[in-house]
Copies of this chain bind each other. A is one copy, B any other.
Amino acid sequence: MTFTYQINDDVVWNKDKKLLDKADRNKPEILKSKIQPVAIVEILPDEKKINGYKSAITKTKIQHLPQVLLKRDDSIILDLGDHYVGTFAIDIQSIGSPMDAPLFLKVKFAEVAAEIAADSAAYDGWLSRSWIQEEYIHLDVLPTTLKMPRRYSCRFIELSVVDTSPKWQVSFQNPVFTAESSVTMEQLPKDTLADAELEAICNVSVKTLMDCMQDVFEDGPKRDRRLWLGDLRLQALADYYTFNDVRLIKRGLYLFGGMTTSEGKIPANVFITPQLTPDDTFLFDYSLFFVTTLFDYIQHTNDVEVLEDLYPVAKKQIDLALLLVTEQGKLCLQDEWPVFIDWSNDFKKNTAGHGVMIYALKRFVELAKRQEDVQLQFYQEKLAQLVAYAKDYLFDATENLFIVAENEEINIVSQVWMILSEIMPPEMNKKILENTVKTLFPIEGIATPYTYHHVVEAFCIAGMKKEAVTLIKDYWGKMIDMGADTFWEAFKPEDPNFSPYGSPIVNSYCHAWSCTPPYLIRKYLLTKINK
Interface residue ranges, A against B (CB under 8 Å): 5, 7-9, 72, 96-104, 121, 126-132, 135-136, 138, 140-143, 150, 162-167, 224, 226, 271, 273-274, 277-280
Contact = CB atoms under 8 A, between A and B. Distances in A.
23 contacts: A5-B167, A7-B96, A8-B97, A72-B128, A97-B280, A98-B278, A98-B279, A99-B271, A100-B271, A101-B128, A102-B128, A103-B130, A104-B132, A121-B121, A128-B163, A129-B163, A130-B165, A135-B138, A136-B136, A138-B150, A140-B150, A140-B273, A142-B274
A153 to B, nearest CB: 13
B104 A130 contact: yes
A141 to B, nearest CB: 5
A508 to B, nearest CB: 12
A100 B138 CA distance: 27
Contact of A100 (B126, B166, B279): B279
A97 B130 contact: no
Contacts of A150: 138, 140
A73 B410 CA distance: 43
A104 B121 contact: no
A281 to B, nearest CB: 8
A138 B274 CA distance: 15
Contact of A130 (B127, B132, B164, B167): B164
Contacts of A130: 101-104, 138, 162-165
Contacts of A226: 100
Given A96-B9, A271-B99, A277-B98, A128 B140 contact: no
Nearest to A130: B104
A104 B102 CA distance: 22
A362 B307 CA distance: 96
Contacts of A8: 97
Nearest to A136: B136
Given A7-B97, A128-B163, A141 B277 contact: no
A273 B141 contact: yes
Max chain B CB contacts within 10 Å: which of A98, A131, A280? Answer: A98
Given A100-B279, A141-B273, A129 B167 contact: no
A222 to B, nearest CB: 12
A357 to B, nearest CB: 27
A527 B128 CA distance: 65
A220 to B, nearest CB: 12
- A-B pairs, top 10 by smallest CB distance, nearest first, are A104-B130, A101-B128, A129-B163, A136-B136, A102-B130, A128-B165, A128-B163, A130-B163, A98-B277, A141-B274
